[in-house]
Amino acid sequence: MSPYSSTLLMSFALLGSSAASTISPQAQRVCADIHSAAPSRLAYAPSSSKASLNSPYLAELYTNTTATYWDAANDADVPACAFFPSCSEDVSAAIIALGKEPGVPFALKSGGHNWNRGFSSTDGGVLISFRPNLQSTTLAPDGLTAKIGPGARWVEVMQELDKSNKCAVGGRSGNVGVGGYVVQGGISYLTSQHVGHRLASRIATAGADILGKGFSCDNVVEYELVTANGTIVDVNNHTHPDIFSALCGGGNAFGVVTTYTFQTHDIGDVWGGGRTYGPEQLDKLNAAIAEFISGNQDPSAAIILDYLFVALTQTSQITVSYFYNGPTPRSDVFANFLAIPYLGADGITTQRYPELLDTNVTSAIGLRTSNVINSLPNMPSEKMCLFLDWHWNNASNAPFVSSRQTNGLELFSMALQPIPVALQRASAAQGHSALSLDPDHGDKIWILYGAGWTKTAGDGVLPQQLKALADDALTYQKDTYKGVKPTNYVSGDLSVVPYNPLFMNDAQYTQDVLKSYGPATYDKLWFLHKLLDPGDFFTSRQNGFFFKTPPGGMTMPRHDRRAT
Ligand SMILES: Cc1cc2nc3c(=O)[nH]c(=O)nc-3n(C[C@H](O)[C@H](O)[C@H](O)COP(=O)(O)OP(=O)(O)OC[C@H]3O[C@@H](n4cnc5c(N)ncnc54)[C@H](O)[C@@H]3O)c2cc1C
């Protein structure tokens, strides 16, 4: 289900039994190798012959770390050992140890919020968890940047920075981790506002009409990276511009980030929170969001609209999460939305930024989940309303949505995320993101489809059915509105540009995210990966969004460690 709905605080019993996986002798050797270098930071699996070496603290840490995933199915994975590095040298030692034993898988766990099975969990391999030893946030003495550990959760980052009235461009839910979120792009409430470091100086000199901060990764000024051979490198736009660019949306194919240095921004009180609406308000809300995407001139404002179907009550509702970077929004900014009657209590209030992040969905809710992303054009309001109306009706009547008995489907949702040209302009002007957005292509809307279920029977069917639903909507939109220009469109092939790129943070493992960045970026990333990691260490030993074909289109063997 969509993680963005504030109605999802309801809790479900954590499901998924702990399978006693077999630990291979190779995995045991890697664990022992890492243990010899850092005995106080490695915990063996309870089923391991070496488990008696675990201190009570490490044994508990292993249990907690492997039981705290957003997607409940990941909790069933049993790593041969869990390693809790405290510095980049630790990570380097682990990568070198893994490099000596070709068959041993591994996973990197930051916040553990990626819903794709096995992306940050491993069954029988080595789990490298950045919590609790690499999760600090340190503001530089001049307050302009902050060093953030990959294991930090965004609410922790903001709590630390807020002490100095600062913030970073980070997640909209406080519990999401920094590590995976950033290398996969990162949409923030602040995404359409302010400017990153390079852009700021350009505006100062050129007076450019640039409004936004861009994606989270657009605001990173330096990464500390451990590469496939264990080398530790400081990557910034001057030392290694290609790697710097690849780490901004290219995912985990290029190395392990051990420190993110972020540009910080000033922040005071913010206004925001959620309101819930009945289905009878659908048309008005659809019109309001279409107009907000194309017409909003205030980059301090952000919004997410979430349609939600709750199987238990067989009811649907719409949640809108509002954000304004300031104590009160300009009266015109959300006027269309705020005039619409809502249900129950008003969740909107003026508060500190970390408080807002803390009240958004923050912890796992114990469901097995899948999510899929579509990139679609934001069309003129009338057409957009017709399309969204068709879309929700069609989706909520899909057969799988009523499969509570068979699959335990509890929640189905569609989250509408505005990607206006202001955001795209900000990201493009930073000039290094692998997402390669071009504001001339017009306004977009990224729709995140989510399903959450309780029964293992759902694992084999629901991810595919969710994907089929998203594909149907894409086809319908392309056929029905062929040639319709997105709002604020200037140029670009209308059969291609509105539908790309796909957003990695919201994608299902089946989706070819890197391909969606366009052939030039794809080829560049592919060659860079081959240069940095000629043995395909990162793309064959862990899961992630990798290269499915080499430049030129030859089919490559697909690496999937998990079936669903
Ligand atoms: C409740 C919720 C709210 C969300 N809100 C947002 C949002 O507002 N904006 C948004 O953009 N996305 C959002 N997402 C999506 C989220 O960003 C992705 O799921 C992301 O992968 C989670 O980051 P993580 O660090 O917690 O992931 P993890 O599950 O720990 O890791 C995800 C992936 O990142 C890789 N990775 C982790 N650490 C590192 C590292 N140090 N170096 C290299 N690779 C690494 C792992 O190999 C893995 O493949 C949300 C998800 C949930 C469940």
Q: Is cis: bond before 501, omega within 30 of 0?
A: yes
Task: Report whether 221 contacts 262 (CB < 8 A).
Answer: yes
Q: What's the chain's average pLDDT?
A: 90
Mutate to test the pocket of ligand 1, among 9, 75, 113 (most ligand atoms within 8 A of CB): 113
Cα angle for residues 324, 446, 220 (degrees, 5° grid): 65
Report percent pLDDT > 70 for the chain: 90
pLDDT band (50, 70, 90) for residue 213: confident
Distance 114 CA to ligand 1 centre (A): 5
Predicted confidence (pLDDT) per residue in 358-413, tens digit:
876 555 678 999 999 999 999 999 999 999 999 999 998 999 998 999 999 999 99
Q: How far is the CA of 183 from the centre of ligand 1 (A)?
A: 8
Per-residue pLDDT tens over the stretch 85-140: 999 999 999 999 999 999 999 999 999 999 999 999 999 999 999 999 999 999 99
Which pLDDT belongs to residue 304?
Answer: 96
Q: Which atom of ligand 1 is nearest to the CA of 4?
A: 3
Mean of pLDDT values over 199-204: 43
The confidence score (pLDDT) of residue 146 equals 97
Instruction: Judge contact between 83 and 34, C-beta under 8 A.
Output: yes
Question: In terms of pLDDT, which residue wins out, 253 or 8?
Answer: 253
Calculate how far, in angstroms, residue 219's C-alpha sits from the geometric centre of ligand 1.
17
pLDDT at 17 over 70: no
The answer on pLDDT for 488 being more than 80 is yes
Q: Token pair of 200, please?
A: 């700021």
113 in contact with ligand 1, CB cutoff 6 A: yes
Q: Which of 524, 532, 549 is nearest to 557 (CA)?
A: 549
Q: Is the CB of 108 under 6 A from ligand 1?
A: yes
Q: Is 105 near ligand 1, meaning CB less than 6 Å away?
A: no
Residue of 108, 187, 416, 435 to mutate, ligand 1, most atoms within 8 A of C-beta: 108
Quote the pLDDT of residue 362.
53
pLDDT at 168 over 70: yes
Q: Using the mean position of ligand 1's atoms as its centre, give its distance from the Cα of residue 185 in Å.
A: 9
297 C-alpha to center of ligand 1: Å?
30
User: Is the CB of 544 within 6 Å of ligand 1?
Assistant: yes
What's the CA gap between 362 and 290, in Å, rounded?
28
- Least confident segment among 166-175, 245-254, 357-366, 541-550: 357-366
Cα–ligand 1 centroid distance for 489 (angstroms): 31
CA–CA–CA angle 543, 74, 103 (5° rounding): 40
Q: CA-CA distance, 553 to 560, in Å (whole number)?
A: 19
Write down the pTM of the prediction: 0.93
SS (H, E, C) 428-470: HHHCCCCCCCCHHHCCEEEEEEEEEECCHHHHHCHHHHHHHHH
Average pLDDT over residues 459-486: 97
Domains observed in the chain: 25-129 (3.30.465.10), 137-266 (3.30.465.10), 271-515 (3.40.462.20)
The pLDDT of residue 13: 31
CA of 284 to the centre of ligand 1 (A): 33
What span, in angstroms and rounded, lies between the C-alpha atoms of 401 and 462? 9
pLDDT at position 361 is 53
Q: What is the DSSP letter of 343?
A: B
Whether ligand 1 lies within 6 angstroms of the CB of 256 is answered as yes
Q: How many beta carbons lie within 10 A of that of residue 359, not counting itself? A: 19
Alpha-carbon distances, residue 129 vs 16, 65, 78, 156, 223 (angstroms): 21, 8, 14, 17, 18
For 187-210, what is the mean pLDDT? 54
Q: Which two tokens stand for residue 216?
A: 């989270």
Distances, alpha carbon 466 to alpha carbons 374, 411, 463, 486, in Å: 12, 12, 5, 25
Beta bridge partners of 306: 319, 415
* Number of residues assigned to the chain: 564
Going by CA atoms, what residue is nearest to atom 11 of ligand 1? Answer: 186
Instruction: State residue 364's pLDDT score.
Output: 60
Ligand 1 midpoint to CA 500 (Å): 20
Mean pLDDT, residues 217-238: 97
Does the pLDDT at position 9 exceed 50? no
**Ligand 1 mean position, distance from CA 513 (Å):** 15
> Is 90 exceeded by the pLDDT of residue 431?
no
Q: What angle do CA 433, 156, 66 make, to 5 degrees?
A: 90
Please give the pLDDT value at position 558: 47
Q: How far apart are CA 470 and CA 466, in angstroms?
A: 6
Q: Tell me the C-alpha distance between 350 and 356, whole Å.
A: 9
Average pLDDT on 154-168 reads 97
pLDDT confidence tier of residue 199, bands split at 50, 70 and 90: very low
Q: Which amino acid is at 427?
A: S
Say if ligand 1 is within 6 A of residue 180 CB. Answer: yes
Give dist(CA 284, CA 281) in Å, integer. 6
Verify whether ligand 1 is closer than 6 Å to residue 184 (CB atom): yes
Here the tokens at position 233 are 């490198």
For helices 462-480 and 381-396, angle between their N-to-C axes, nearest 10 degrees: 150
Q: Give yes or no for residue 187 CB within 6 A of ligand 1.
A: yes
Phi first, then psi, for residue 466 (nearest 5°) are -65, -45
Task: Give the confidence band of 2 by pLDDT, cuts at 50, 70, 90.
Answer: low
pLDDT of amino acid 3: 59
Place of tokens 């709750």: 310
Q: Is the pLDDT of residue 39 over 50?
A: yes
Q: Which tens digit of pLDDT belongs to each residue from 174-193? A: 999 999 999 999 999 998 76
Distance, CA of 286 to CA of 386 (rounded, Å): 9
Q: pLDDT tens digits for 42-79?
A: 999 999 999 999 999 999 999 999 999 999 999 999 99
Q: What angle do CA 486, 545, 447 make, to 5 degrees?
A: 30
